[in-house]
Structure 1
Amino acid sequence: MALKTLLEDVKSYSGFQSKKRLQRVLLNMQACSDSSIQNGDDTAVIPNGDGFNLFAMEGFIPEFVANDPWFAGWCGVMVNCSDIAAMGGVPVAVTNSIWCQDDDALMQMARGMNAASQAFGVPIVGGHTCQDSPLNQLSVSIIGHATHVLSSFDAKPNHVLLCAIDLRGEYREPFLNWNAATSAPSGQLQQDIALLPKVASMPGVSGAKDISQAGLLGTAAMFMDCSRCGVEIDLDRIPKPAHVSWLDWLRSFPSFGYLITCEADVAPQVLAIFQQRNIHAACIGQLNNSARITVTHQQENDVFWDFHKKPFMMPSTHTTSSSEEPDYARNYL
């Protein structure tokens, strides 16, 4: 597949399109929020006396919940823990809201959440249940804590873009969810997400974002839009299972997948932290002031997104990064 065709197909994917459509939501939220609050991070960040409280919530597509209620319950805990980790935080506790058609669906979602709660070492401390609902739905919220915050707003030109993905898994059909979690040995998941707070404490690391349903390039677009940066991405450096096509992989949601920005001389140390735990990690790009995301693959090069022509998610005009200290009173997506 030609690179231009590949990138256009990635942009047409529903997960990518759903993130792009958030611009109208952000405009509405901006109108009713304090001017110091920026929307776009993986969690809300609230300063306290000894660091930062983190808060996030995930809701799930009814089709996904109906098709695989146990895995939806598992993912309710997992993706929230991932959001906390992406901000450099430690998950503390989760709550949930469940709507169920019958007791079987309710118990499957509950069992999935309980299994993930044990695997990640994060307790479920409350929730709300609605039975006899016309459809099965699920949302899960989480609180966490961070000493050093990694943000989508703090990437800087001339820094490098790193990618860390756990490839030890397989797709959980029928969706493009790369599952490297449910079969992981006891203790592995807790130890793996604990790497992100360690990375956050390293001098020279500027930002992070977990790879979402928008896929790797869609997540990079959200990241760069928040930070007002451009980036050149080398597709061939991205960790990928050999048997998976580039189109599927660039639309995939990995159970453990993060984009991280840092100074170039710090990159080997950051990569080693993941590689020592058998997580594939590589430097995949270079940040700049271009306000464009460009992608190279073999001998081809093309623009994936040009923020000068069209904002991706953030409603304000795309400019270069500010040198001001970040304000961590932020909402999240």
Structure 2
Amino acid sequence: MMELATILSQVSQYAGIAQKEDIVLLAPNLPALPEGWHPNGDDAAAIPQADGYSLLAMEGFLNAFVAQDPWFAGWCGVMVNISDIAAMGGHPRAVVNALWNHDLENARQIFDGMSAAAKTFGVPIIGGHTNLRANQPQLAVSILGHAKRLLSAFAARPGQLLVAAIDHRGAFRKPYLNWNAATDAPAERLRGDIALLPAIAERELAFAAKDISQAGLLGTALMLLESSGVGARIDLDALPKPATVNWSDWLCAFPSFGYLLTTDSARLPELLELFHHREISAAAIGEITANQQLWVAKALERQLFRDLRNTPLTGFSPHPRAPQHAMEH
């Protein structure tokens, strides 16, 4: 059995977390936002509107991934953007893309993957930018959405429970740790699963949320905690895991459907039941604390994973004028 120290050492060296650390180098250069706008650092920008929020997000992809698996890269271009909108409690409206390439067949496969995902999730592709005279394949995709009520990484407070909800009905798509539970799933099921998040927001069953990204579960937890200026204790024994997957891989996995949410004990049963009703694994895996440290436990072991006071991850921290859209605990 792998010791906790070994697991966390492997996870801390994962490239997905290192890539998030790049953000802290540039975050201080961002200009101030207009008064009353939602702060930078969430899964999507949230622009206040009379009927809620317009949501805007964007994802770029590793050039090697786009070159090696172009169809899946195109699919992910749509899917992960939809996930970002859902994590904010929103409904996706439309996507645009920016594609650079030098290989027409590779470019066609990217478009085929994007088209398949757009049809599956019912979200149209409405334009973009194309350049077939570039020196390598590159892809970025942006999305527009809308939320009546936000879920936000800035809304976690000490005493809340941390919940992980991940669709286990998949497998890794090698050579990366992308946990694919989507490409072979029925479109109706995928649309219903994504619709859970805005329903959770509108029914006020969760406070904060963030989709589990390339940084994996612990890296995503750090981003959520940093945004809210809090810490957490996570118990790995409470986290459901596919039996055939080892701990370090699972904690680094980028799931096609995976979210961290915070709630309280009164709302927890109804929140978990929503996921379980759709056969999505969900469990309370820890508690939010005030100390800005992420501690991880397994069996009788307990270890500090990161102290955000001394080692920021992205540089996005609580905004003094952030709108009070979130429920108070």
Shorter-chain TM band: over 0.9
2:282 corresponds to which residue?
A: 281
Q: Deviations over 1:87-124 (max 9, x none)?
A: 00000000111111121011100000000001110000
2:236 corresponds to which residue?
A: 235
Quick one: which amino acid aligns to residue 219 of structure 1?
Answer: T
- 1:1-333 equivalence runs, <5 A: 1-29=2-30, 32-34=31-33, 36=35, 38-203=39-204, 205-314=206-315, 325-326=323-324
Q: Kindly report structure 1 stretches of 4+ aligned residues shifted beyond 4 Å.
A: 321-325
Alpha-carbon distance between aligned partners in 1 of 2:320 and 2:132, rounded to the nearest angstrom: 49
| Offset, 1:7 | 1.0
| Offset, 1:158 | 0.5
1:331 corresponds to which residue?
A: none
Alpha-carbon distance between aligned partners in 1 of 2:146 and 2:321, rounded to the nearest angstrom: 26
| Offset, 1:307 | 2.0
| Offset, 1:5 | 2.2
Q: Which moved more, 1:18-27 or 1:49-58?
A: 18-27
| Offset, 1:289 | 0.9
Give the SS at the match of 1:278.
Answer: coil
Quick one: which amino acid aligns to residue 51 of structure 1?
Answer: G
Give the SS at the match of 2:296.
Answer: strand
State the aligned residue count: 323
Percent same amino acid among aligned pairs?
A: 49
Alpha-carbon distance between aligned partners in 2 of 1:50 and 1:88, rounded to the nearest angstrom: 14
Q: Describe the shift of the 1:324–1:63 C-alpha distance in structure 2 as closer, same or farther (beyond 3 A).
A: closer
Quick one: which amino acid aligns to residue 142 of structure 1?
Answer: I
Quick one: which amino acid aligns to residue 161 of structure 2?
Answer: V
* Preserved contact between residue 214 and residue 252 of structure 2 (Cα < 8 Å): yes
Quick one: which amino acid aligns to residue 190 of structure 1?
Answer: R
Alpha-carbon distance between aligned partners in 2 of 1:315 and 1:161, rounded to the nearest angstrom: 20
Alpha-carbon distance between aligned partners in 2 of 1:315 and 1:119, rounded to the nearest angstrom: 34
**Which stretches in structure 1 are left out of the alignment for 5+ residues?**
329-333
Q: Describe the shift of the 1:127–1:237 C-alpha distance in structure 2 as closer, same or farther (beyond 3 A).
A: same
Give the SS at the match of 2:190.
Answer: helix
* Preserved contact between residue 61 and residue 73 of structure 2 (Cα < 8 Å): yes
Q: Which moved more, 1:33-42 or 1:269-278?
A: 33-42
| Offset, 1:79 | 0.2
Alpha-carbon distance between aligned partners in 2 of 1:221 and 1:138, rounded to the nearest angstrom: 27
Alpha-carbon distance between aligned partners in 2 of 1:105 and 1:324, rounded to the nearest angstrom: 43
Alpha-carbon distance between aligned partners in 2 of 1:313 and 1:109, rounded to the nearest angstrom: 30
* Preserved contact between residue 275 and residue 282 of structure 2 (Cα < 8 Å): yes
| Offset, 1:194 | 0.2
Alpha-carbon distance between aligned partners in 2 of 1:149 and 1:327, rounded to the nearest angstrom: 7
Quick one: which amino acid aligns to residue 20 of structure 1?
Answer: E
Q: Describe the shift of the 1:204–1:315 C-alpha distance in structure 2 as closer, same or farther (beyond 3 A).
A: closer
**Which stretches in structure 2 are left out of the alignment for 5+ residues?**
none
Give the SS at the match of 2:226.
Answer: helix
Give the SS at the match of 1:55.
Answer: strand
Alpha-carbon distance between aligned partners in 2 of 1:2 and 1:254, rounded to the nearest angstrom: 24
| Offset, 1:253 | 0.2
Alpha-carbon distance between aligned partners in 1 of 2:50 and 2:142, rounded to the nearest angstrom: 23
Quick one: which amino acid aligns to residue 223 of structure 1?
Answer: L
Quick one: which amino acid aligns to residue 86 of structure 2?
Answer: A
Quick one: which amino acid aligns to residue 72 of structure 2?
Answer: F
| TM-score calculated relative to the size of structure 2 | 0.94
